[in-house]
């Protein structure tokens, strides 16, 4: 028996790799029929995610607790899973004003080149995961989320095992039940979406499920950390014209202030939305707003309460 025979047998046990006889002649269907079939498959993903909400919520609370102490949220995966982690990490700075590469980090097997080109064999290298995490100097306040549709990818599994040994919080996100990845992590999240439309193409339903879960992990963690005020993105980084306009709209939605007041508050706050809102709603100057926010750990509601008590 060769290593490939054993691996083939193992893949045959995975739900994500299952063959579906009813789709054996899907290529004979019209484009519209294929699109309807694929859309119907995709519609099942949210329910699969919903079944894991208690596990997802528990992971988020643990992540937020550590990030509040200065820890980082670190994603580690290979292929599609790795790309989704890098994507989620890269979207946090403009959305929540996190420091690029410092608070939410995405690691992909094979490094940055693997974002656009397959790096053969990288996903099989536990040593690459260990080296990538060693370069980040993992601490017990950090969280490492291993992402793998199969739940057995050596890079993701190795990252979780190394991080846990270093005392960091670990989360294993997979799309198969009873996965080694979930077993290795403190928080296992197994979103079982079933066999794919195209056999083994886990960039489909599995990728969609992973994206939904990563959205939750980062977004709800940021809400817990005070990065929003209600549903308003008050820590937005206004790095382009659209975001500058969005900043002003967010201040208007929060305060109802006129354009001149908004511009004045933004200018005094150095372009930062959160202190501008606090200054307008709390009736304080920019320096006081900054001080109250710092004392409240960046939570605008708490800072507003402090301003009202002055």
Q: Assess whether 211 and 275 both reside in one domain.
A: no
Residue 173 parent element (H or E):
strand 169-174
CA terminus-to-terminus distance, the chain: 76
What CATH number corresponds to the domain at position 132?
Answer: 3.40.50.10490
Q: Assess whether 57 and 206 both reside in one domain.
A: yes
Residue 172 lies in a domain: yes
Residue 273 lies in a domain: yes
Q: Assess whether 252 and 216 both reside in one domain.
A: no
pLDDT in tens, the chain (310 residues): 566 666 566 665 667 776 677 878 888 999 999 999 999 999 999 999 999 999 999 999 999 999 999 999 999 999 999 999 999 999 999 889 898 888 999 999 999 888 888 777 888 899 999 999 999 999 999 999 999 999 999 999 999 999 999 999 999 999 999 999 999 999 999 999 998 888 877 889 999 999 999 999 999 999 999 999 999 999 988 888 998 999 999 999 999 999 999 999 999 999 999 999 999 999 999 999 999 999 999 999 999 999 998 7
**Residue positions annotated with a catalytic role:** 91, 123
Where in the sequence is the domain holding 267, given as residue range(s)? 241-308
- In the block, which residue shows the tokens 């690029």? 100
- Choosing from 194, 224, 254, the residue where a domain stops is 224
How many distinct helices (H) and strands (E) make up the chain?
14, 5
Statement: the pTM of the whole predicted model exceeds 0.85: yes
Q: How far apart are CA 108 and CA 123, in angstroms?
A: 9
Helices 126-136 and 154-165: crossing angle in degrees, nearest 10, is: 40
- Choosing from 199, 224, 249, the residue where a domain stops is 224
Residue 74 parent element (H or E):
strand 73-77
């Amino acid at each position: 028996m060769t290593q490939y025979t054993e691996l083939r047998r193992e893949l045959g046990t995975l739900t994500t790799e299952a063959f579906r006889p009813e789709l054996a002649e899907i290529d004979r269907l019209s484009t519209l029929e294929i699109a309807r079939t694929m859309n119907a498959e995709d519609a099942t993903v949210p329910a699969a995610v919903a079944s894991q909400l208690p596990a997802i919520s528990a992971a988020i609370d643990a992540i937020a607790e550590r990030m509040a102490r200065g820890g980082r949220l670190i994603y580690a995966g290979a292929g599609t899973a790795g790309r989704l982690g890098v994507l989620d990490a890269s979207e946090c700075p403009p959305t929540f004003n996190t420091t690029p590469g410092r608070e939410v980090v995405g690691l992909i097997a094979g490094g940055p080149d693997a974002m656009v080109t397959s790096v053969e064999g990288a996903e099989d290298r536990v040593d690459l995961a260990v080296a990538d995490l060693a370069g980040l100097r993992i601490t017990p306040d950090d969280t490492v989320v291993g992402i793998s549709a199969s739940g057995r990818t050596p890079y993701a599994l190795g990252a979780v095992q190394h991080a846990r040994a270093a005392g960091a919080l670990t989360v294993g996100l997979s799309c198969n039940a009873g996965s080694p990845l979930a077993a290795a992590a403190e928080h296992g999240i197994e979103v079982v979406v079933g066999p794919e439309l195209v056999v083994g193409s886990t960039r489909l339903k599995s990728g969609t499920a992973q994206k939904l879960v990563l959205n939750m992990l980062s977004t709800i963690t940021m809400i817990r950390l005070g990065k929003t005020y209600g549903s308003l993105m008050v820590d937005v980084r206004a790095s382009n014209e659209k975001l500058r306009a969005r900043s002003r709209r967010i201040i208007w939605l929060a305060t109802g202030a006129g354009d001149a007041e908004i511009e004045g508050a933004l200018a005094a706050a150095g372009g930062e939305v959160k202190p501008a809102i606090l200054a307008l709603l709390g009736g304080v100057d920019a320096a006081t707003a900054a001080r109250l926010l710092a004392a409240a750990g960046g939570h605008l509601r708490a800072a507003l309460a402090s301003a009202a008590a002055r």
